Amino acid sequence: MRKVIFLVIIALSFSMTTHTESVINSDGYKIRVSLRKIEPFTYTSIRRQGALSELETGARILMTNIGSQSIAPAGTMFAVFHKIPEEGQGGNIDWEIGFPITAQVLPQPPLTKGQWNYPTVASTNHTGPIETISDPIDEIREWLDENGYIQDGPVIVVFLNIGEEDLIPSRLQTEIMIACKEK
């Protein structure tokens, strides 16, 4: 199964970068923000509300159901964050974890079928535990504001090395993308 996940990770590719710019984050390091075009894609997922720490449980449920339903992922695992409470405010995060699939696949509950229809994203890469993604998300949002864009949909986090043996949280590599459009 790990080999399949690794091959799926290699197979997923998103469209070309159209504009890249570096910004200085709050720690004084440069991050690269890329404005990209992404083709729409179909996916299957498990949707939940709760803390980021529950993503691992969601991933296990996802993997169990994909296996029992004989669904072949058409790309790498990702999480979509629909609602992230503002810093300092309580509340649950509205998220789902899933895989791209072919449009013909008909997942059964508890899996759902969704469609990514946000053609433009601003993205950056991040290494570290999933609980640390709020900083790069804030940096992308700052870049959007400074460059004449606004958020126009959810945040998607693609897990780039999730299939590696003995992956420790501090080495998790992700691409963080925020759906956007011009102001």
Q: What is the pLDDT of residues 21-62, one digit of tens each?
A: 555 444 555 679 999 999 999 999 999 988 878 888 999 999
Q: In the chain, what are the domains?
A: 2-182 (3.20.80.10)
3-class secondary structure, 163: coil
pLDDT beyond 50 at 3: no
Structure tokens belonging to residue 144: 């959007």
pTM: 0.81
pLDDT tens digits, residue range 118-155?
999 999 999 988 888 888 999 999 999 999 999 999 99
Torsion of CA 23, 133, 178, 109, to 10 degrees: 170
Task: Please report the sign of the dihedral spanned by the C-alpha atoms of residue 79, residue 83, residue 87, residue 91.
Answer: negative
Give the pLDDT of residue 103. Answer: 96
